[in-house]
Structure 1
C-alpha cells in the first residue's frame, strides 16, 4: 500500500507543477501585455502633445510670414517638421507594439485553454488515482493477513461456543440421570421400609 501511495504521489505532484508553471507563465505574459498597453497609452499622449506642438509652430510660421519674416517662418516650419518626425516614429513604434500585443492576446488565449485542459485532466487523473487507491484498500481488506487472522479467530470462537453448548447439554443430561437415580433409590428404600414393617407386625402377632 505504501508503494502504491508513493507511486500515486509523483504524477499528481508533476501535474501540479505543470499547472503552476503555466499559471506563472500566464501571469508573466499578462504583465508584459499590461506594460505594452501602458506604453501605448503614454505614446498616444505624447503624439497628442506633438500634434499640439506642430499646430503651434504652424501658427508661428504664419505669423512670421505675415510680418515678412520668412527666415523665422522657415525656422518655425523646421521645428514643426521635427515634431512631426518624432510623432511618426512614435506611431510606427505603436504599430509594432500593437502587433506584439495581438501576439500576446493569442498566447494568453492559448495558455488559458491549455490551463483549463490541464486542470480538467488533473481532476480526472486525481479521481482515477483515488478510485485505484480505494480499490486497493478494499482488496487488501478482503485478502490481507489481518482479515484472514480475524476469520481464523471467528472460527476458533465458534468452536469454543460449540464446546460450551455441548457441555451445557451434557450437564443437563447428567442432572436428569441423577434425579432418576434418586427416585429409584427412594423407591427401594420405601420397599425395604414396608418389608421391615411387615416383619415386625408378623412377630407381634
Structure 2
C-alpha cells in the first residue's frame, strides 16, 4: 500500500503546489493578521460543536459541557466566534473528532492511507470523516453558493495557517512523505489518548 500512498502523495503535492498553495499564499499576503485570526476563530467555534458531540460520545461530559459553553460565549460575546472570548474566561479548547472517538471505543486505526485533498489518514479516521461532516452545521446551509463559499474560505484559511509548516518540513525532512506519515500517526495516537498514550508493544 505504500506505493499507492506515495503516488497519491505526489498527486496531492502537485495539486497543492499548482492550485491551493498559491491561493493560500495570496490570501495570506493580502489579508491582515487580525482578519485571519478572526476567520480562524470563526471556524474553530464551529468545530467546537463537533468536539462537544465527540467528547460526549467518549464519556467526557464535563469537557462536552465546557465545549458547549465555549460555543455559547464565542457565538454571542465573541460575535459569531470571530473573537475567542471563551478562552479568556477559562473555558479550555479541546480537539476531538469521530476518528478519535472510534479509537476511544477500541476501533483499531487500520492502515495508513494518503488521499488527495484529504491528506494523511488512517482507515479509522477516513471513516470518521462521515460523522464529522454530519455534525458540521455548515453542511446544513441550504443556499448552495453560500455553503460552498464558506467551505472555500475554510480550506484556503486552513492552508494559509499551514504555510509555516512547509518550511519546517522542507528543512527537516529528507523524505517528506515519511516525515508527514510518522508525524501524523504520532499526533493521532496522542490525541486518542489525550496526550498520554500507552507504550507500544513490540508487535506494533
What's the TM-score, normalizing by structure 1? 0.21
What's the TM-score, normalizing by structure 2? 0.21
Larger radius of gyration: 1
